[in-house]
Amino acid sequence: MQNDSIKKTIFVAVALCLVCSFFVSLAAVSLDEIQKENKRLDMIKNILVAGGLYDPSVDVQAVYENKVVPLLIQLDTGQILNPEDYPEGIRVGTYEIKKMAVDPAFGRPVDPGEDIANIRNRPQYIFVYQVMEGDKLQRVILPIYGYGLWSTLYGFVSLGNDLKSIRGIAFYEHGETPGLGGEVDNARWKALWPGKRAFDDAGNVVLSVIKGQVDPKSAKAQYQVDGLSGATITTRGVHNMINYWLGEEGYGPFLKTLKQGGGRG
């Protein structure tokens, strides 16, 4: 009698586990497409935030489609590719910078001597985003990433049509400490960026994210952004990230292409 009871208990437990596993698997499959769509829309939102285009009362997809033109570029040369020339497997709707950076076919290691952002690998091809008014460039939105204190931060920074001034910045993924390095998400800190100068008149990257607050009376104030309070290492990480990606090892060749009139609308 006791053996029968034990067998029944085991049978019920196994059956319950199988039923639960089935429903968990079904839910995961059912929600997968929803999660992918939410991730895509969040990415679009952050592109718009960095570009100064985000309005929470307006559909982000509509704004993106009406205002933003994605371009695939080859980072090393700054060349802009026509859609028919995109390498197989690269499409704007499915592109993931993290996967491309470590893919042997599409990524490459970064020379440690040049790796001030501590990214180790980067894509050979990357999507950037133009904001157009008719046939005139208004701003360009550039993906950026680099290491902070605890994590790699992924985001976007935008430049105005002078290709010298910052229009905005946004981060969509990081693991920095809430209340400290995590303040990269703080709207008040992000509001300090628009209008800052990223380059001097000679084209050198001079933007600094400093420790402490910018002295508004300083001649350097236009090239400086307040650091994150209590987050020295994250602040340094953002500084290094900006200087890497806007420099010659990053988007320098592409920005030269734009200055020479090589952008597409």
Q: Residue 229: CB partners within 8 Å, gap ≥ 6?
A: 180, 183
Do 171 and 185 form a contact (C-beta atoms < 8 A)? yes
Do 194 and 187 form a contact (C-beta atoms < 8 A)? no
pLDDT tens sequence across 3-37: 557 667 776 667 777 776 666 665 555 556 787 78
Beta strand 224-225 with 136-147 is unpaired
Residue with token string 């196994």:
14
Say which amino acid occupies 244. Y
pLDDT tens sequence across 129-158: 999 888 889 999 999 999 999 999 999 999
Q: Which of 63-67, 72-76, 148-152, 258-262 has the lowest mean pLDDT?
A: 258-262
Q: How far apart are CA 265 and CA 249, in angstroms?
A: 25
Q: How far apart are CA 128 and CA 235, in angstroms?
A: 24
Beta strand 125-133 with 136-147 is antiparallel
Write down the domain spans for the chain. 48-259
Predicted structure pTM score: 0.86
Distance from chain centroid for Cα 112? 22
Phi, psi of 73 (to 5 degrees): -120, 155
Q: Residue 185: CB partners within 8 Å, gap ≥ 6?
A: 171
pLDDT tens sequence across 208-244: 999 999 999 999 999 999 999 999 999 999 999 999 9
- Closest C-alpha among 198, 173, 167 to residue 185: 173
